[in-house]
Structure 1
């Protein structure tokens, strides 16, 4: 559950930069959005592995 909380926080923190990139055409904000998306991807994969591991323990 800890990773899920981190994921929500990461998405929330990215919101300001996403707005700056899409609505104000800030290139630097776009770089920060891409970095946050990479972190989200990594965290999501960790969560997938964790869920699979826990699910297999139950079976």
Structure 2
């Protein structure tokens, strides 16, 4: 998962850096949305882990 994050951030930064050469804002926006989705997904994963731990504690 860390490699996905690094690749996505790298791609976004490169697209922003060469934005004038790309001529396509759609690519930048797509990569930016992927970048923003990462912390959202991490938050969902964290909530899943917390939920499992709380259910396990309640079952004891």
TM-score normalised per structure 2:
0.61
Unaligned regions of 5+ residues in structure 1, if any? none
CA positional deviation for 1:31: 2.2
Instruction: Report how many residues are paired.
Output: 54
- Give structure 1 regions of 4+ aligned residues with deviation exceeding 4 angstroms: none
Q: Could you list the runs of 5+ residues in structure 2 that have no partner in the other structure?
A: 55-60
TM-score scaled by length of structure 1: 0.62
- Match in the other structure for 2:57: none
Q: What value does the CA root-mean-square deviation take over the aligned residues?
A: 2.2
Residue 39 of structure 1: CA displacement?
1.7
Q: Deviations over 1:4-59 (max 9, x none)?
A: 431221011222211012xx37431x321101011223333222110111123334
